[in-house]
Structure 1
Amino acid sequence: MKDILVFLSPSRRDDLSSGAHCAIALARMHGAHLSALIADVETDLRDLPPEPDIRQVERAGAKPATSSERVARTAELVQSAATDANVSCDILQTENQPVSLRERMIHCTQVHDVLIIDARGPLDSPRKELVEAALFASGRPIVFVPPNTPVLAKGRIVVAWDGTRSAVRAVRDALPLLAQSREVLVVSVIDDKLFPIPHSGDALCRYLARWHVDAKFGTIHRETLNIGASLLACAQQADADLLVMGAFAHGFERELMLGSATRDIFNARIEIPVLLSH
């Protein structure tokens, strides 16, 4: 992992999001370069704490910062934090570009190892369309980082395994993280289907062992939960730092009948980072 991309909304305060801190920490851990793509794609004040009354009075006459000013301020904060962490960093331009933000997102993600993006509750438009575009068109993994999340540690990782191409791709994309983890738990949700290759989870663990990854395999039942919620619950119960899973692994018809674990993640209020790979 040598080139990390983080997509950020401009900050409305003089601090950085969990996604930014995660990206800087990963870049430092892997000796990687960091690129930040900053764009104002939505207006959402729900995550901001209420201002004390006295500050509201003092700021009542203040002119709110424009989108361009907030983008510039966020760029300054990222550069400063990266410098403090001894991480090389550049800011990618989003304004005055000949292509749309969607195309810019795809192109930038294609030439980086991973895209890191903040996840503040269920994924809604227009952020959802940007994420789907990056997943389907870039060939690179995405890591969703929820608010107030500790920086990824060299701890425990849960890998969702169902023997599909997307699951294989997710494992391969996550290898730099898996190789530095303390423990990996490979899990399969077995309520809805039979695996075409018996014992493939154990075989995956043997493969990971050749990368010096301590991996164990287990199965879980989703029962009344959807698949995504089951995987998230498993990861939280295991006190994992990260959930790794394939994205949009099945055909449209099967998703209509049984649902999609990827959509489950999109609609969830995640509490740990999730790596998705298509």
Structure 2
Amino acid sequence: MLNDILVHLPVERPAEPVIDCAVSVAKLFGAHLEAIACAYQPINPAIVVGASAAYYADASQYNTNLDKATQRLDQFKATVGAAGLPHDGRTIADSPALANETLSLIGRMYDLNIVAQPDPAHPCNHDGLAEAVLFNSGRPMLLVPYIHAGPLQPNRVLICWDGSRPAARAVHDAMPWLKRAKTIEIVTINEDPDVAGDTSCDALVAHLSRHKLSATTNKFNCDSGKIHSALLSLAADSCADLMVMGGYGHSRLREFILGGVTRGMFKSLTVPTLMAH
């Protein structure tokens, strides 16, 4: 069950997508909802050697102050209070790298972390948080698209399955959602039946059936560089409310160089996605 949820409020851009999503999830599971708003502090150039003045000028323009973080927290409390949900909230302040490390550590004590997707059109200090939480919290993360609006009603769930450890972790963490879903679809891309074996898409269907969950399958092939686009297209075609997937099945370095599925999702996400690593 999800009894204790943490939502990370973006301060440098609108927080409505994650707040609306978090409230609906807390209602669905009857959970306590806590929020953190981070006032990112600029790096002090006096303690860093070799960086240019242009770098610090750029870093400073993204700096937010504690007043803005407090405003976001007040917005959260007003919305959650009106919904009648048990809640709490706080602010922290630190440099981006240290703040994201701290937020990841805090996230370990919750059943779910809710994080806003980075918006490529409006870069900010918050952008590195999703990756930090995914890798370092040890807990499932719900990534909310910056275009999301309104509550999340996870009636139609799409599981992105590749037989990997992160994918298995994600399915396990998604069980409370799957048990409330009306339809479950499993999609696998480029699955080799001679290799998949015990971790095949069909094996996952059998596993879910033992949890009294019925799922359909969708198997197809496509170029490796287009997998994330294919998944998002399928999610749109099937009107999926929630996607479930493992994050970073390969190393971050390999994904950065080759352009992996997780990195593509971070950039192009259109559906709230439960991720685990």
- Per the normalisation by structure 2, the TM-score is 0.80
Q: Judging changes above 3 Å, is the alpha-carbon distance between structure 1 residues 78 and 217 closer, same or farther for their aligned structure 2 residues?
A: same
For 2:131, the equivalent position in structure 1 comes to 132
**Counterpart contact for 1:191–1:222, Cα < 8 Å:** no
Q: Judging changes above 3 Å, is the alpha-carbon distance between structure 1 residues 78 and 255 closer, same or farther for their aligned structure 2 residues?
A: closer
**Counterpart contact for 2:118–2:127, Cα < 8 Å:** no
Aligned-pair CA distance for 1:165:
0.4
Q: Judging changes above 3 Å, is the alpha-carbon distance between structure 1 residues 150 and 202 closer, same or farther for their aligned structure 2 residues?
A: farther
- The answer as to 2:103 corresponding to 1:105 is yes
Larger displacement relative to structure 2 (249-258 or 86-95):
249-258
SS in 1 for 2:119: coil
Counterpart of 1:6 in structure 2: which amino acid? V
Aligned-pair CA distance for 1:95:
3.2
State the alpha-carbon separation in 1 of the partners of residues 86 and 143 from structure 2: 22
Aligned residues: 251
For structure 2, list consecutive stretches of 5 or more residues without a partner in the other structure: 42-63
For 2:245, the equivalent position in structure 1 comes to 245
State the alpha-carbon separation in 1 of the partners of residues 6 and 200 from structure 2: 32
For 2:27, the equivalent position in structure 1 comes to 28
For 1:209, the equivalent position in structure 2 comes to 209
Aligned-pair CA distance for 1:173:
1.0
**Counterpart contact for 2:140–2:276, Cα < 8 Å:** yes
State the alpha-carbon separation in 1 of the partners of residues 257 and 70 from structure 2: 46
For 1:226, the equivalent position in structure 2 comes to 226
Q: Judging changes above 3 Å, is the alpha-carbon distance between structure 1 residues 227 and 41 closer, same or farther for their aligned structure 2 residues?
A: farther
State the alpha-carbon separation in 2 of the partners of residues 273 and 254 from structure 1: 25
Aligned-pair CA distance for 1:77:
1.8
**Counterpart contact for 2:105–2:137, Cα < 8 Å:** yes
Aligned-pair CA distance for 1:127:
3.1
Q: Equivalent of 1:89, from 87, 90, 108? A: 87
Q: Judging changes above 3 Å, is the alpha-carbon distance between structure 1 residues 264 and 191 closer, same or farther for their aligned structure 2 residues?
A: farther
Calculate percent identity across the aligned residue pairs: 30
Counterpart of 1:108 in structure 2: which amino acid? I
**Counterpart contact for 2:189–2:219, Cα < 8 Å:** yes
Counterpart of 2:4 in structure 1: which amino acid? D
For 1:114, the equivalent position in structure 2 comes to 112
Larger displacement relative to structure 2 (187-196 or 168-177):
187-196
For 1:266, the equivalent position in structure 2 comes to 266
For 1:149, the equivalent position in structure 2 comes to 149
For 1:8, the equivalent position in structure 2 comes to 9
**Counterpart contact for 2:33–2:86, Cα < 8 Å:** yes
Larger displacement relative to structure 2 (168-177 or 70-79):
70-79
For 1:48, the equivalent position in structure 2 comes to none
**Counterpart contact for 1:75–1:91, Cα < 8 Å:** yes
**Counterpart contact for 2:39–2:91, Cα < 8 Å:** no
For structure 1, list consecutive stretches of 5 or more residues without a partner in the other structure: 43-65
Equivalent residue runs for 1:1-80 within 5 Å: 1-10=2-11, 16-41=15-40, 67-80=65-78
Aligned-pair CA distance for 1:228:
1.3
Q: Judging changes above 3 Å, is the alpha-carbon distance between structure 1 residues 33 and 125 closer, same or farther for their aligned structure 2 residues?
A: same
- The answer as to 2:246 corresponding to 1:277 is no
State the alpha-carbon separation in 1 of the partners of residues 127 and 69 from structure 2: 20
SS in 2 for 1:181: coil
Q: Output the aligned Cα RMSD.
A: 2.9
State the alpha-carbon separation in 2 of the partners of residues 247 and 226 from structure 1: 16
Counterpart of 2:68 in structure 1: which amino acid? R
Aligned-pair CA distance for 1:233:
1.2
**Counterpart contact for 2:11–2:38, Cα < 8 Å:** yes
Q: Deviations over 1:74-97 (max 9, x none)?
A: 212211211221211111331389
Q: Deviations over 1:179-213 (max 9, x none)?
A: 11111101101179964316721221222223332
- Per the normalisation by structure 1, the TM-score is 0.80
State the alpha-carbon separation in 2 of the partners of residues 252 and 194 from structure 1: 28
Larger displacement relative to structure 2 (4-13 or 153-162):
4-13
Larger helix percent: 2
Q: Judging changes above 3 Å, is the alpha-carbon distance between structure 1 residues 88 and 162 closer, same or farther for their aligned structure 2 residues?
A: same
Larger displacement relative to structure 2 (157-166 or 206-215):
206-215
